[in-house]
Amino acid sequence: MHRPRSRGHVALSFFAFSAAAAFVLVTVVDPYSGATASPYFQVAGATSDRYDGQEAQSLSVFSTVANTVTIEGFTVVEPEPEPEPVIAASVGGVAVTPGSAQAIAAGAVAARGWGNDQFNCLVSLWQKESNWRVDAANSSSGAYGIPQSLPGSKMASAGADWQTNPATQIAWGLGYISGRYGTPCGAWGHSVDVGWY
């Protein structure tokens, strides 16, 4: 005697089929889903170089994608730009890139209750000041680090490792911004108006 299938078995089979079909469709529709690279994590290159008197690492990124457009039988190929090395300071043998410093800052900005608008202002401000380099030194003024503290030794109030640790520099810089300008957008507005903050 043949026993009919229960509703639970049919429902489970339908669910399994639906899940498998959804996985295949996502892969077919967007073959790059889940395969994107984060700008905050970069693998340090094997090339080592001297940079501002300190050991630095560089990473060259090459692209194999070229823009090609064909219109009425004519093909235009846009040349690929020359790759620019990413200069990174090295802290304890670990590369500190502008992207990793920005990731630290994003967490610190969120912890203060500031939104993405404030983070975007901070990115612009410190991009202008130091290109987010932990070892950025202004030879004429003596300003130092990501927030360009003047003098750099002021950042010692945030930690003894102020010369090399982006988290220490960012903590000090956000405290300075909060106390003097209220928010990163306040500091960025001042910098746009007068050229410094």
Checking if the pLDDT of 7 tops 70, the result is no
Omega into 151 within 30° of 0, i.e. cis? yes
Over the stretch 13-23, which tens digit does the pLDDT of each residue have? 666 666 666 65
Pick 8 or 177 by higher pLDDT.
177
- Residue 88's nearest CA partner among 41, 125, 140 is 41
pLDDT at 89: 54
Over the stretch 103-117, which tens digit does the pLDDT of each residue have? 999 999 999 999 999
Q: How many CA atoms lie within 13 A of 89 on its CB side?
A: 23
Domain ranges of the chain: 47-194
Checking if the pLDDT of 24 tops 60, the result is no
